[in-house]
Amino acid sequence: MKKIFSAILISIGISVAFGDSPIPSPQPLNIVSQGGSKPIGFFVARKLQNEFTKAQWLELEAFKRKEKSDLKTLKATHSAYFKEWSEIEKRARREFFDAHPQGKDRRAYIQDWVSRRKDLLKSQENERNQLTQSFEQRVEIMKSEQANRLKKFKEFLGRGEQPPSDLWPKKYF
Per-residue pLDDT reduced to its tens digit, 38-48: 678 888 889 98
CA distance 14 to 7: 10
d(CA 157, CA 52): 11
**SS3 letters across the chain:** CHHHHHHHHHHHHHHHHCCCCCCCCCCCCCCCCCCCCCCCCHHHHHHHHHHHHHHHHHHHHHHHHHHHHHHHHHHHHHHHHHHHHHHHHHHHHHHHHHHCCCHHHHHHHHHHHHHHHHHHHHHHHHHHHHHHHHHHHHHHHHHHHHHHHHHHHHHHHHCCCCCCHHHCCCCCC
Which residues have a Cβ under 8 Å from the Cβ of 44 and sit 6 or more positions away?
28
What confidence score (pLDDT) does residue 11 get? Answer: 45
Contact 153, 50 (CB under 8 A): no
Residue 81 pLDDT greater than 50, yes or no: yes
pLDDT in tens, 9-38: 444 444 444 444 333 333 333 333 344 466
Question: Sorting pLDDT into bands at 50, 70 and 90, what band is 172?
Answer: low
